[in-house]
Amino acid sequence: MTEMILTLFNGISLGSILLLIALGLAITFGLMNVINMAHGELIMVGAYITYLVQNIFMQYAPEKYFDLYFILSIPLALIVAAGVGVLLEVSLIRHLYKRPLDSLLATWGVGLILQQLARTIFGAPNVGVQSPSFLNGGLELGSITFPYSRIFILLLSLICLACIFYYFYRTASGRRVRAVMQNRQMAECLGVSTRKVDMLTFAIGSGLAGVAGCALTLLGAIGPTIGTSYIIDAFMVVVVGGVGALFGAVAGAFGIGIFNTIFEFLTNATLGKVLIFILIIAFLQWRPSGIVINRSRSLD
């Protein structure tokens, strides 16, 4: 029973990590139909921002205030990653809408440039980020210990999801975004500035990638390729959940996380990854549109 509970918790924990990474991708790829292969490098930006803030607090802040560095890093990583996303959208992505292959190749090249830039500034070896003291240890329930860092990532992913839901479905700006994604020509006829909506939406998706990078520093060392190992899984979450469906991304993230953990527990890490790919391929053969199907004229 203990092993079953731990396996389920590890699956939920992995699902929350995938959800936090895939939320930004669900916006840029699912809602904007832009294949952003530099999404992993935006995660890297958030991770290195956390590393820089940590070093600043180590050098200049009193020791008793050190734990505040992580709280400050979350909004700062969001802002900086969103700024990089806006710069990317204005200078490159804007000219490649409705050209998915060109945008894929261009953003892949941008990703390589950002990786090399990170190696030039911070060096090729991985660097460590010290977790704040309030996230050390874990919650003990009997003989089972649930790490505080994993619980924090789960709560952070749910908070980000709630904020995105509120923005898209409860604000006028969010309704304009959904209107543009469903029928761009009609939204333009009604006076919606689609250029501003595109830039804002890409900034939100990029900012969420920065928050994901900040959270990943709790799990281990970071390096220039930290986002590369997660980008394929993030795309799988979006495709399985349904393109353009936020709650589909939630179901896809936790489903992939739980099944992946179960397969790895029953076999090993390599074979478990193979089995989850086979399961996803079989699922998409049966339901090619994903878990949640969006009905709109633009998709038709």
Q: What is the pLDDT of residues 61-96, one digit of tens each?
A: 888 888 899 999 999 999 999 999 999 999 988 888
Other CB atoms within a 10 A radius of the CB of residue 155 amount to 11
Q: CB-based contacts of 20: which residues, under 8 Å, 6+ apart?
A: 153, 156, 157, 160, 208, 211, 212, 215
Q: Where are the domains of the chain?
A: 2-127+146-286
C-alpha to C-alpha distances, 185 to 12, 136, 188, nearest whole angstrom: 40, 52, 5
First-to-final CA distance of the chain: 47
Q: Looking at residues 50-67, what average pLDDT do you find? A: 90
Give the Cα separation of 222 and 225 in Å (integer).
8
% pLDDT > 90, the chain: 29
Give the model confidence (pLDDT) of 159-213 as tens digits: 999 999 999 889 998 888 888 877 778 888 888 888 888 899 889 999 999 999 9
Provide the whole-model pTM: 0.90
Q: CB-based contacts of 108: which residues, under 8 Å, 6+ apart?
A: 37, 38
pLDDT above 70: residue 31: no
CB 293, CB 247: distance < 8 Å: no
Question: What's the whole-number average pLDDT of the chain?
Answer: 86
Other CB atoms within a 10 A radius of the CB of residue 170 amount to 9
Task: Give the type of residue at 263.
Answer: F
What phi and psi values does residue 170 have, to the nearest 5 degrees?
A: -130, 0
**Residue from 155, 178, 147, 146 nearest 20 by CA:** 155
pLDDT at 300: 46
% pLDDT > 70, the chain: 96
CATH code at 2-127+146-286? 1.10.3470
pLDDT above 80: residue 32: no
- CA triple 261-267-272, angle to 5 deg: 50
pLDDT above 60: residue 297: no
Question: Which of 24-28, 154-158, 243-247, 283-287 has the weakest average pLDDT?
Answer: 243-247
Give the Cα separation of 288 and 153 in Å (integer).
30
What phi and psi values does residue 67 have, to the nearest 5 degrees?
A: -60, -20
| 140 membership: H or E segment, kind and range | strand 138-141
Q: Looking at residues 280-285, what average pLDDT do you find? A: 88
DSSP state of 33: -
- If you count them, how many residues does the chain have? 300
Give the Cα separation of 194 and 128 in Å (integer).
41
DSSP state of 28: I
